[in-house]
Structures are given as C-alpha cells and as structure tokens.
Chains A and B, each alone.
Chain A
Amino acid sequence: MVNEQNLEQGNGELIEIPAGTAWPIILAFGAMLCFASLVTSIGVGLVGALLTGCGIVGWFKQVFPHEHHAFVPVVRRRFVPASSRRTVAHIQVSEVHRAYLPVESYPMVAGLRGGIAGGIVMIFPALLYGYLTQHSIWYAVNLLGGAGVAHWTNPSTADIAAFHWNGLIVATVIHAAVCSLIGLLYGAMLPMWPKRPILLGGLIAPLLWTGLLHSILGFVNPAFNARIAWGWFALSEILFGIVAGIVVTRTGKIRTHQALPFVLRMGIEAKEFNPPKGNQP
C-alpha cells in the first residue's frame, strides 16, 4: 500500500481505497467508557468523554475537507473460469409429462363461489340440529364461535343455546373464512379427480375429514368434542362438499399454466421454449 504522497512516484496502476484509521475504535471505546461510567466512576466517564471528543474530531479530520485515501498497487492476474462439469443437462419436457398434471382447471373464483354456496347450505343442517336437540338455533353457532370467546369458562348448555353477539360474529368470521378457503382448495383439487368428482370431493373427502377430526378432537379439545354430534357434523360436511362440487363443476374450465412447459412455469432454464431475454453481453 502506498500513501497519497507517494502516488506520483508509484509505478503501475493504483486503486484508491479508504485509508485505515484508528479514530473509529477510539470513538467506540470512548462511547463505551461513557456508558460504563454510570456503573463505575466519574473518572471512567471523564476518560470516555475525552476519547469520544478526540474520536469525533479525528474522524472529522479524516473526511473533511478531503477524505483520506490510500492507494494500492494493482496486481494484475488472469481469472480462468473453469468447471469440473462441462456438459449442461436440461430438463427434458415431453407431452407425456403433461398427462399427469391438469392442463385445464377451474378458475379460482369458481372455488370461491363453491365455498360460499356450500357454506350457506351447510348452515341449515347445523341450525336444524341445534333446534331439534336444544330448541335453539344458536347452539351450533355458539359451539363454533365460542372458540373465540375465551371468557366462557365451562359454559352450561343453556349458555351455549342462548344468543350471544360475540359468538355470532366470531362464528360468522370463522365460517366465512374457512368455507372460502376450503372452496378455493376444492376448486384447485377437483381436476385431480377426473372421474366422479362429486363422489370423491363431495362424499369421500368430507367423510375422511370428519373421521380425522373425530379421531383427534378428543385430544385437542375434549370439552368441544363432547358436544359435537358427529352424524350431523358429517351431514353438514357432505352437503357442503356436494353443493360446492356442483357449483365448481358447472363453471367452465380454463387452460392453466400447466399447459406451459414445467421449466417455464418454475423459472428453470429451458432454451428451446424461452426466447433470449435480458442484457446480452
């Protein structure tokens, strides 16, 4: 490394870099001592203040009026790019590959519509269940919404059967959000069941889901589990699945990006499908 004074005497090419300086470490040490003085002694603080002052002045002199630089002679070298692999493999794309993926799908909005329609329909068996067993349509509502009303500690059956604004609002939010999301998922998954989509999506999937919940809810929330009538629950789920399935399947299909080569959709290279883009050197 050479100094600025030696610049003119330097032979060869020089590169300008910031000059090394001790002022940052002095300033940092001074600042630390200032803080440390709060729990040590005033003497430590005075030394810290002195170092801080010196550090600030010294640092200013480093950059004002001109920033200090050092000049480093360049050592020219030749970088030889080398790779142990000279051959590049591209992912091969064929039409056979496409056979396993849906080339057409329902638009997202179809799933949303299906979820909303299914969600509306499944309300009725739930309300009917509440009315028949507890003589209150709010029973099922509060069973769902009560999960968000934490101040209900061990509510009685009468509590759950009564009307509660909190329960209604929370139940509505949960029901709307979950039905919409399930609807979207349903719309996305239907093309994967090319045969009997209503049977698979509307009957078998809800039954599997009900079975899964039935098997784990006893561990997750025993109190909730004790109040659920699984037959009615399964009926609601099946109704949801059938209605959502009908709404989705009645919507026209659109071609998806699946029709495009995998390499294009996933941003992986594929020379034969992708015209040159970007800056070319």
Chain B
Amino acid sequence: MSDYSLPNPGTIEAVVSDEPRGTLLETLHEWVITVDHKRLGILYILYSTFFLLVAGAEALFIRIQLAFPHNHFLSAQVYNRFFTMHGTTMVFLVGMPFLFGFGNYVVPLQIGARDMAFPRLNAFSFWLTAFGGLLLYYSFLGGGGLYGVGNAPDVGWFAYAPLTARSFSPGHATDYWALALIVSGFGTFGTAINIIATVVSMRCKGMTLMRMPLFTWLMLVVSMLTLVTITPLTAAQFMLLIDRYLGGHFFDTQAGGSSLIWIHFFWIFGHPEVYVLVLPAFAIANEIIPVFSRKAIFGYPAMVAASVGIMFVSLSVWAHHMFTVGMTSTSNAFFTLSTMLVGVPTGIKIFNWIATLWGGRIRFTTPMLFCIGFLFQFLIAGLTGIMLSVSPWDWQLHNSYFVIAHFHYVLVGAVVFCIFAALYFWYPKATGRLMNETLGKWHFWLFLIGFHITFDTMHFLGLLGMPRSIYTYQPDRGWNFLNLVVSLGGMVQGVAVLIFAYNFIASLFQGEIAGDDPWDAWTLEWTTSSPPPVYNFEEPPEVHSRRPLWDLKHPDDPDWEYEA
C-alpha cells in the first residue's frame, strides 16, 4: 500500500470553471429540461439516495417495534404499511433507479459515446420513474379513498391475492401501489431499451463486444433481463386493477380465478428481479476489484459467459418461492435443480474475483473495502440460497426470518455494499472531488459491523421459528434478546449511513480535487475531465483493447498484444 498515492498524480489540473453560474432558478430549469445522460444519471442517483434514507428510516421504525416483545411503538396497521413500503421502496425506488443511474452515467462514457441512443426517452423514463415513486408515497395522503380505510399500501411488497381483493383491502392504498409500479415500470422499460440500443449501436471505433468493459456488458444483460421481467409484473398489475374495478376474476378464487396466478406472475418477475439488482452490483465489482488489485480482470470471457448464463437460468427458477403452495414433486425437483444451477455461473464469478485479487497489489480504498465486503457476504448469501433451494429445507423455513436474513444478505450485503462502492468510485468523476477517505472508512466499518450484527443474528431468529411480517411477539418465545441485537445492529447501520450522507454533501464543497483519473484506472470514462463536459469527449475515442487507458499509460506494454 505504500508505493502509491491517491489521487493519482499527474492528471490533476486545477478545476476552475470560468463559466458564470446561473441563478438557482436557471440551474433548476437546466436540470429539469436536461436530456444529458450524465445529469439524468445523477438525478437517478440523488432520487435513489433520498428514498434510501426514507426506506432506511422505515426499517428502523420496524426494528424499534420488534426490539421488545409486546411493544406498542407502532400499531399493527402502521407496521404493515411500513414493511410494505420499505420493501417496495428498496426494490423499485432505490435498487433499480440506483443501478440504472450508474448505467446512465457510466455506460456512454465507457463506450466512448456522446450520449444515450434516445436522450429524450431517457429523460422521459427518469421522470416516469420519479413520478411513480411520488405517486406511491402520495398514498400516505390520498390512500384513504372512499372508505377512509388505510392510508398506505399494507399488503407486503409481493401483494399476494386474495389479500389485494377489494373485500380485504378496501380504499385506494393497494391501487396506489399497483398504479405507482405501473408508472415506474414503464420508466424502467424505457431505460432498459435505451441502454440496449446505446450499447448495441453507439460503441466507439475498435470497441468490439469482447472489448467492452464488463460493467457495460452486465448493464446490457440486465437491460435485456429487465425487458423480460417487467412485462409480467405490469400485466399482473393491470389484471389486479381489472379485478378490483371492472369485475374481473383473475385472482378471485370464489369466481373461478386463482390466487396462484398472481404468485406465478409476481415471481416470474420477482426472482429475475433479484438478478436485475445484483448483476449491476457484479458489474460494479468487475470495475473496482481489478483497478484496486492492479491486475486485469481474471477470465474476462468466462465472466461474460457467466453473466449471460445467469440471465437465462434466472428465468427458470421463480417457483422456488412457491415450494409451500403445494406443487407436484416434479415441479419441486425441477425448481430445486434449476435454482442450484445458478450457483454454477455465480461460482465462476466468485472464483474469478478471488483470482483477480490473488497476487495483486491491493489498495484498500473505501470502494475496494466495500467490494471485499460484498465478496464475502455474497458468498454467504449464495450458500443460504442453495440451502433454501432444497424444497424440504424451504418447507421448514419458508416465511421465517431465515428467508428475510438470506435476501437481505443479497440485497444489502451485495447490492447496497456495491452501490456504496460505486458511489465512492465514480463520485470524483461526477463532481471533480474525492470523498473523504477517513469518513469513508468509518462508514464502511460501522456499516459492516451493523450489517453482521443485524443479519447474522436474523438467521438464528429464523431457525428458532420467528415468522416474517409479525408486528410483535410473545415474550416467552426465546426471541427477545436476538431481536434486541438485530435492532441495535440496525441502529449502527443507520449511524453509518448518516456518516455517508454527511461525507457525500461535505465532500462536494471541501473534497480534495480529484483530477481526471484519480484511481489510476483503465476505462474510457477516466480519460475525460472530472466532471466530464456535456459532449463527453472532444474527439470520438478509438480503442484497441479492453483497457484503453492502460495502453495509453503503458505504450511499451499495451494490452492489445495479449488479447485474443
């Protein structure tokens, strides 16, 4: 660690803009009408950061309620609303927008393009997503509806039928949930189309598919997967609205419908959605781990193949969420085996990341620390996933806190860790300033400790039989101490996120000047200024290998000599 300095010297130029700053109104207007992929990417990220804080606050309220038995901090109804909104927010308003935000910002820069293929569609997609989120949260005000019952969705993020029928969920809270997801789903759809078109048609000269940065490759895979998975969810939401308002009976078991149809539709979306969220996390790790290991990624072709493999396999595993509904033994066997099969390409990735680290000169910067945390946690998440893929095991633990712990290991331990890594990694590119490393390390260690206190303990609560979605419990169940520990871990994570939020804002004004290439990295986004100009590159770049900036830095030993 001693023979490098950060930021990378030699690329730092004084960043002094001689352009006069506009008034606040002019600045706001510029951002509202923008079709620039970088600004839209930043808007996505700011929007997601805001909802990350909101959903985090909801999680803390949930944990305060569960910290003690027979607690009355939240009523049962409010508790139901909070866990519904927490789940919905984290998946649809935090995870996906964050990752599409990074995709928006980074992909055109990495492939040497001036913008996305459809800049106006890009803006439209963002605003649809944003308004979808606002519509969801407007339900707190408007969800009472005609009957004054309920003021926010309280049916869980999966909204199983028949709970969503009007008889059981009167008022409009459930409608807001469905409508918000339809609106934001169209936005997601637009962004996915845009990323595919951009990657397919706007790569710079010399950038063949097998020279694309892995981040871009994975965003392409994610976008294709999104197109397939958002469709059944949107269709199911329309069917739900037809059931609720036009006398349809899709999910009405009393009139020939089937609540199982909803579960199938939801999980045909829902499980690939996990990969829609985690593949961009892989993408982020693919960029950060090699840069801070000072080695090229190990096994690039295998990484590409594994990503595409995950996309296909993930489309055939959805019913492992349904082992307890009573499927045939053939179905149980099929979905057990197909779920286990996902372990093959993900295992390839884990081994390749470890092989990249192996023998490297590792720099333990904050983004790298988050990626190392991700590696360990994703491995554990994968192992508990394999355990849950075995149907008899799942029969025992379905809907218990073991499942909650497993998917939080994926969604927080992998996805949120990588999101933080990406924020620290690309923040200097977007703002021209580095985030404070000391505060970053405080953030990392506190978040890591809080994460493990919370979610390791949660596994044991599940094994002890604590079911999910209960708002309180009897004091004689043996869950008291562990629940208190879980809640305390949540508080530690909350403190860590507050440190991050402070660092994020303070570094904007006081952060060290980053220069164009603060991490001594290799992809095209680091060849342009920080922040990049609106046109990205003065001249369209031309690449000859997977690491064009390496070639520039080491003309005596360029990568194109070795790449097949």
Contacts and interface: CB of A to CB of B under 8 A. Distances in A.
A18 B124 contact: no
B124 A24 contact: yes
Contacts of A91: 359
Nearest to B31: A20
Interface residues of B, number: 82
Contact of B552 (A25, A63, A77, A81): A81
Given A74-B538, A75-B533, A271-B557, A17 B123 contact: no
Contacts of A40: 142
A196 interface: no
Given A28-B127, A39-B175, A88 B557 contact: yes
B209 interface: no
A5 to B, nearest CB: 18
Contact of A76 (B4, B359, B538): B538
A79 B527 contact: yes
A62 B68 CA distance: 59
16 contacts: A20-B30, A20-B33, A21-B123, A25-B123, A28-B127, A31-B186, A63-B120, A76-B538, A79-B528, A81-B549, A83-B10, A84-B9, A148-B333, A271-B557, A276-B561, A278-B563
A274 B563 CA distance: 9
A241 to B, nearest CB: 25
A80 B35 CA distance: 30
A267 interface: yes
A207 interface: no
A254 interface: no
Contacts of B34: 20
A35 B115 contact: no
Contact of A83 (B8, B241, B298, B355): B8
A280 B560 contact: yes
Interface of B: 3-5, 8-11, 13, 30, 32-36, 114-115, 119-121, 123-124, 127-128, 130-132, 134-135, 138, 142, 145, 172, 175-176, 179, 182-183, 186-187, 206, 241, 245, 294, 296, 298-301, 328-330, 332-333, 355, 359, 361, 392, 516-517, 520, 527-529, 533-535, 538, 542, 544-545, 549, 551-554, 557, 559-564
B520 A32 contact: no
Given A35-B182, A40-B142, A271-B562, 17 more contacts: A1-B534, A21-B35, A29-B127, A32-B134, A32-B183, A36-B138, A39-B172, A72-B533, A75-B533, A77-B13, A81-B517, A81-B527, A82-B553, A83-B554, A85-B4, A266-B355, A280-B560
Contacts of B11: 79-82
A77 B538 contact: yes
Contact of B175 (A38, A62, A81): A38
Interface of A: 1, 15, 17-25, 27-29, 31-32, 35-36, 38-40, 59, 62-63, 72, 74-77, 79-85, 88, 91, 148-151, 221, 266-271, 274, 276-281
A74 B328 CA distance: 65
Given A79-B527, A279-B544, A25 B300 contact: no
Contacts of B534: 1, 17, 72
Contact of A24 (B127, B296, B355): B127
Contacts of A150: 328-329, 332
Contacts of A82: 8-11, 517, 520, 553
Contact of A278 (B3, B142, B300, B545): B545
Contacts, number: 179
A277 B516 contact: no
A239 B520 CA distance: 58
A76 B528 CA distance: 11
Contact of B120 (A62, A79, A271): A62
Given A32-B128, A83-B8, A83-B520, A22 B561 contact: no
B387 to A, nearest CB: 11
A85 to B, nearest CB: 7
Q: Which of A17, A20, A25, A36 has the most CB of B within 10 A?
A: A20
A17 B114 contact: yes
Contact of B529 (A25, A77, A149): A77
B539 to A, nearest CB: 9
Contacts of B35: 18-21, 24
Given A77-B529, A83-B553, A36 B560 contact: no
A40 B175 CA distance: 11
B120 A277 contact: no
Contacts of A271: 557, 561-562
A254 B228 CA distance: 44
Contacts of A31: 128, 131, 183, 186
Nearest to A62: B120
Contacts of A19: 35
Contacts of B300: 267
A276 B545 CA distance: 12
